[in-house]
Amino acid sequence: MIIKDENKKDLVSIVIPAYKQEKTIKNDIENIYNAMSQTRWEFEIIVVVDGLVDNTFGEAKSIDRDNVLIYGYEENKGKGFAIRYGMEKTRGDIIAFIDAGMDINPNGISMILEHMEWYNADVIVGSKRHPVSKINYPFFRRFYSWGYHTLVRILFGLKLTDTQTGLKVFRRNVIASVLPRLVVKEFAFDVEILSVCRYLGFTRIYEAPIELNWDSRNTNFTPLLIFDRHIRYMLIDTLAIYYRMYVLNQYSDKNKSKWIKMDSIHPIYSEQYKYKLRFSIIIPVRKINEYLEESIPYIKKLNYDNFEVIIITDEKCDYDFNDDRFRIITSGEKGPGEKRNIGARESTGDILAFLDDDAFPAYDWLNQARSTFVRNDIYAVGGPAITPRKVSLLEKISGRILESWLCSGPTGYRYFPDRKRMVKDFPSVNLLIRKSVFERVGGFTEEFWPGEDTKLCLDLINSEGSDILYDPNVVVFHHRRELFIPFLSQISRYGRHRGQFARIFPKTSRLIGYFIPSLFIMGLFIGLFVINIHYILSTIYFSITALYLIVLFLESLRALFLERSIKASILFIIGAMETHIVYGVNFMMGYFIRPKLRLRKIDKKSGKYIEG
């Protein structure tokens, strides 16, 4: 029960969205609580745990105060969703939100509340660019912040110097009008809520100073912002807000039927957050190799303990894991699909987590997956397989090639964390499936390799009637074949099998993106014979070729800056061009000529698969 103090002002509700903040959330709450206790304002704190991916909920729940309320839900939805969810739980006359992590000094909340009274404001925005703000902020982030602020001012007429700082205060009547109209869950939530405020006539929006000590650990953005995908997504979301506001008029009362209701969620109740699904990690391998030996310590360090690890080898081998959760099964000389089926039959888990021997998981891999599988409609989840940091330059460039939209096209999300989406096909390097569903479709086919995962995905979709979830938070790190021969040999096999699947499995594999490299190579070859027919044809041919080379050069700059090496840029250009040629030619071969299927080769010395 909150005790009323005669000297206290109206109730202030403070919403704290929290994602992966188990190490700081208790201090965050206590700091905000102590700061507000020194003010003349009565208050409540609403903490929203955005996904059950670590022990943030448990840590927050350990704080026992009447005016601190902890909410949470299983699946990560994004900061914007968490703030909106928390605002709907508030009782205050004034509603604020502040980011967890304490980059922003919570003592600044009282200053913002005073500004609310001084200006009789509808909204007060904490601003890094306020003349008396005290900030520790990198130059490049200041530059990008200024550029984004300029764009927002042009598009929406918001006369603010900063829209992105995670401290804002609203009057309750403003939130009541604005909240039901909001759409954005992630990158441009702040801009949407402020622009909709202005759109609805709440124009008394002012700025107040803050104290900010920036911590790079509390951001999704990479240091090299020019190549950051989150920047691109924020721009896309911002333009989408403009389109909805001024073209579709979606935020007006006349279009109330088009307002989007909040997604259904699975709230966390009482001790529910402690219940854990059991995972069976299944790794097919010819014999214990150095990649697997690298992976084992990472698996042991997972921040989720209800799992087993089943390693399927050709021959019996003795290996001391020093961990009862690990066991080895001997299968004889069989392909990866057969071995995964054997592992699945021997498993005891609710969820089968397939992992390649040359991959290792992020520490929260299973926790992230667990938060997704609470949805009964999700039967399979795939996540990105990122190139490890500490590898050779040739392996890094193979990874950069796969990450590039110029080479991977619509499937680039497999190699870096991208937006959550539903997909029709996903590789088994990082694929998690409900055991009951896996058994229902009969497991992996033993006819194809590589490609057995594509056939499994098709069977799953046909059986369940819905696509597979791609979750960018379910991360593993995957070693690449080095440039040039090993990498291009793998690309050639992928090209042949993808071409074959495009012919025999059109539902999931006959996609235009898979055909583009072949069409481009055909165009380059045929163009050599037709450019002399007419000058227009030669102009088109050389223009397309020049455009390709320009785009290739621009993409190579990413490798140049990320690896800080001109050699990396040159390797990228050569590798990307060869990838297009090798994949394009082999795709056509696979489409028109059925590849021979056989048990792939093994490197006797290392124990690695050298094909597939």
pLDDT given for residue 599 in this prediction:
42
pLDDT at 270 over 90: no
Q: Distance (Å, rounded) from C-alpha 491 to C-alpha 374?
A: 36
Q: Considering only 79-83, 144-148, 542-546, which range has the smallest mean pLDDT?
A: 144-148
Fold: same for 9-258 and 276-592: yes
Secondary structure of residue 309 in the 3-state scheme: strand
Q: Distance (Å, rounded) from C-alpha 493 to C-alpha 566?
A: 30
Q: 450-469: b or e for each residue (b if 16 or more CB lie within 10 Å)?
A: bbbbbbbbbbbbeebeebbb
Residue 266 pLDDT level (bands cut at 50, 70, 90):
low
pLDDT given for residue 423 in this prediction:
93
Pull the structure tokens for residue 319.
Answer: 């290996």
276-592 belongs to CATH 1.20.58.220:
no
Q: Alpha carbon of 400 to those of 389, 556, 584: distances in Å? A: 12, 9, 19
What is the full DSSP assignment across 132-152? T-EEE--HHHHHHHHHHHHHH
For residue 610, the surrounding DSSP H or E stretch is: none
Comparison of pLDDT for 505 and 325, the residue scoring more: 325
pLDDT given for residue 2 in this prediction:
37
pLDDT given for residue 606 in this prediction:
53
Q: Considering only 3-12, 122-131, 196-205, which range has the smallest mean pLDDT?
A: 3-12
Torsion of CA 201, 204, 209, 214, to 10 degrees: 0
Residue 607 pLDDT level (bands cut at 50, 70, 90):
low
Mean pLDDT over each residue of the chain, to the nearest integer: 86
pLDDT at 214 over 50: yes
Domain map (residue ranges) of the chain = 9-258, 276-592
pTM: 0.78
456-504 confidence digits (pLDDT tens):
999 999 999 999 999 999 999 999 999 999 999 999 988 888 888 888 8
CATH class of 9-258: alpha beta
57-69 confidence digits (pLDDT tens):
889 999 989 899 9
Q: Distance (Å, rounded) from C-alpha 263 to C-alpha 184?
A: 12
